[in-house]
Each structure stands twice: as C-alpha cells, then as structure tokens.
Structure 1
C-alpha cells in the first residue's frame, strides 16, 4: 500500500462521509479523516506530514468546483485533489481540469473502483470517468478546441518539447522525464511551461488530453521501471473508469 498518506474527505452528508471512511479503511488506507465543509480546513490538521489527498464533494456548479479547488490549493499547496460528484457534466470536467484537479470520480462508484482510483492518483496517474472522452470530443466539436488550431499549436513545439509532451501523455513525472530524456529536471520544468503556454492548456492533464488525438500517447521510449514514481508500469496514461 502507498501509506503513509493523509486522505481528507470533504463531504457534507454525515452518512456518506462515514461510508467513505469505512471504504478507505477497508481498502488499507489508515490515515483518513473527514470534515463536512471547506471552512473546516483551517482548523483541520492531517495526522502526519506525509502526502495529502483530498476526496472532495464541493458542489456541482462550475463556480463552486473552481472555487473549491482553489481553496484547497491555497490551504494545502502540494495536495492531490479528487473531486467526488453524483453528476459529472462536460462543463464540470473542463472546469475541474482547468482548476488543476487530479481526478474525478462518481459519488456512487463501487468501493473497489474508489480505492483503485485513489491508488492510481497517488501514483501520479490522473483518473477520470469515461465521460471525459466525450467531453473533450464535444468541446472540439463545439469549437472551443479547434483541431486545426491545436495541430498548428503542436507544430510550434520544438523537437524536445514534443518529446517531453509524449512523456507527459504517458503520465510521467518530471524526474522520470528528465532521466529518460537525458536532461536536467529543471530543464524539463522549462519545457513543460512552454508546452502549456503554446497549447493554451491550464495543466499537464489538459495538455495530454488534447494531444491524444494527434498520436502522442505512446511514441516516447518507456522509462526505466526501477523508479518508484513509475511503479505502475512503463505507460501512465490517465485512467477512465465506468460509474459502476
């Protein structure tokens, strides 16, 4: 198991809050706690100084999702954030991606789906419902992401930036990209910032999602599997789960 990890549940409903705690404990996550609202974050201290992951039900409208993620990031800058919702629309997914969510799961998924999603996010692998694919297709069809403009943006990337983007599509962390590409981690960070700027993407996940239709998801050499940050295997594409 990936402990020690602090998992903080944010859920207003007391029964569901208790149910989430039970599922996580049964899944082997021992350092779990729960609060009923974002406002309680100020007075809520994790059990120890390890990694922190939030399972947060913070509303269904776009403004609430964006504000909630921003609030969590401000309170705990390096935390992982998984949004939990009973309804996930295309616009909610887009909003969560832009705000920097590490995953979205349906509120009533099977217990094993929830625990596996948490494990994958802790390994650095974004997790989203299958609907995210339809969401990205709908956004492209609606013109919010023009395929021609995106292709032109990709063409503006340098050869090294394209290589780094391929590794990003595999879900690799900067350290793994640096070692695999034979460059410094600081250089990787510079390339990542340039890629996000040129593609107009808000975060790594959004950049990877936009790049998939253009064949960039599996062209990079697989990194050395000896690195613990790549424990799940060579390829680290975001995972899409069903709602049952």
Structure 2
C-alpha cells in the first residue's frame, strides 16, 4: 500500500531534501508540505495523509502544539517528529502530545523511510540512541511506577501479554508468532489495550510498560 506523507519544517531546504529522499521510496508519496505548525490543518484538509513528519522548532506554532492539533482530527494521521533536538522535555512533550515516534535528522535515509512505513501501520518508531534515555526521563518525571502498574492492571492477562510485547518493540507479526495468535486477533487486542489505557498509540503503551518495569 502507498504511504502518503506531509512534511512540516520551516526550512525550505530541509523540506526539499526530505521530498527528494522520500518521494517514491518504496511506496512512499509526499502529498504536501507546510512551513509552520499553524498551516498543517489546512494542508491535511487539502491532502489527506497517513503520516506527518513534524519538525519541532518553528516560528509560530511549534511541533508539539501542532502534533496536539493533528491528533484531535477525525481519523488523524500518525505524527513522527523529525528534528535535530533530543532534549528530554521535547521528546517527552512530543510523545505526550500524541506523536507516534521521534527521529533525528542525522539518521540514514533508509531508516527514516522504514520508520515512516512503520508509523503508518501503527508501529512505534523511536531513534534507538534516545529510546532508553526517554524511558528513564518519563519514569523520573512522569507518572509513578505504581500508577503505571495500576493502569496495566486494567488489562486482561492476554492484553497484558500483548502490551508487554509492545513495550519490547515487537511488531504485530512478532506478537502473533510469540503468543500463538492470528494477526487480526493481535490487532484487536492492541485496540483494546489502547482504549483501556487511555492512550493514543503504541509508543505511549511502551512508555507505560517501561514505567511499570513490565517489559
């Protein structure tokens, strides 16, 4: 399936470079661009997308607020932050706003393209070199491990098994294989986990699992 993306960055050279790098790469099609977070809703109205590649620091509406606005849309696209900044506050802020992942602009093009495709299917996408630091930051500054454990307690045993696999970064196919389930059944469990935990995406499930020390 074709993955449609919108690129949001205030630097026209960055947008041009990303378009050149991603457009047509293994089924990816760039359908729109925005130079500021304030313009994203209008671009998405004109060009429906599966994934938004979102810069963080923009002059009027920053990437965190823009992500929050995107995620309030009906059937919203996944948002993947793509930035040069990896401070704890920005990483955590973006994910709490509903971003499905967080990538750095110095990642190889092939990995960025793979992350875009993964985000379109609901897979979490975190740059490996910041994933562990992110988990530590959330555990230290967010909800307590007790709160996270309590949240996971709302799940059935099988849903908890699925949540733990999400926390380990497993794909739906990997979860199906490890838990001896069909992929449609895994997808149903993932939807139930998201609903019961009150979160928007798999990355936020992974954060809760890590906070609870369940992975």
TM bin, normalised by shorter chain, reads 0.7 to 0.9
Among 70, 73, 93, the residue aligned to 1:72: 70
Correspondence 1:37 to 2:36: yes
Q: Is the 8 A contact 1:11 1:17 kept in 2?
A: yes
Q: Is the 8 A contact 1:60 1:87 kept in 2?
A: no
Among 102, 107, 110, the residue aligned to 1:109: 107
The structure with the larger Rg is 1
Query: How far is the alpha carbon of 1:78 from its aligned partner?
Result: 2.5
Among 144, 147, 150, the residue aligned to 2:148: 150
Among 50, 59, 72, the residue aligned to 1:52: 50
Give 2:207's aligned residue: 209
Query: How far is the alpha carbon of 1:96 from its aligned partner?
Result: 1.6
Higher helix share: 2
Query: How far is the alpha carbon of 1:107 from its aligned partner?
Result: 2.2
Q: Is the 8 A contact 2:67 2:79 kept in 1?
A: yes
In structure 1, C-alpha distance between the alignment counterparts of 2:149 and 2:36, rounded to whole Å? 42
Q: Is the 8 A contact 1:164 1:192 kept in 2?
A: no
Give 1:91's aligned residue: 89
Task: Give the 5 Å matches for 1:153-232.
Answer: 153-155=151-153, 157-166=155-164, 168-169=166-167, 170-172=170-172, 179=182, 185=188, 189-194=191-196, 196-197=197-198, 203-212=201-210, 216-217=214-215
TM-score, length-scaled by structure 1: 0.66
Query: How far is the alpha carbon of 1:183 from its aligned partner?
Result: 9.5
Moved more, 15-24 or 147-156: 147-156
In structure 1, C-alpha distance between the alignment counterparts of 2:131 and 2:142, rounded to whole Å? 15
Query: How far is the alpha carbon of 1:192 from its aligned partner?
Result: 3.6
TM-score, length-scaled by structure 2: 0.73
In structure 1, C-alpha distance between the alignment counterparts of 2:185 and 2:92, rounded to whole Å? 33
Give 1:133's aligned residue: 132
Q: Is the 8 A contact 2:8 2:35 kept in 1?
A: yes
In structure 1, C-alpha distance between the alignment counterparts of 2:22 and 2:183, rounded to whole Å? 34
Unpaired segments of 5 or more residues in structure 1?
218-244
In structure 1, C-alpha distance between the alignment counterparts of 2:164 and 2:52, rounded to whole Å? 28
Give 1:100's aligned residue: 98
SS of the equivalent of 2:81 reads strand
Q: Is the 8 A contact 2:172 2:187 kept in 1?
A: no
In structure 1, C-alpha distance between the alignment counterparts of 2:79 and 2:208, rounded to whole Å? 21
Please tell me the root mean square deviation across aligned C-alpha atoms, in Å.
3.6
Give the total of aligned pairs.
Answer: 203
Query: How far is the alpha carbon of 1:8 from its aligned partner?
Result: 1.0
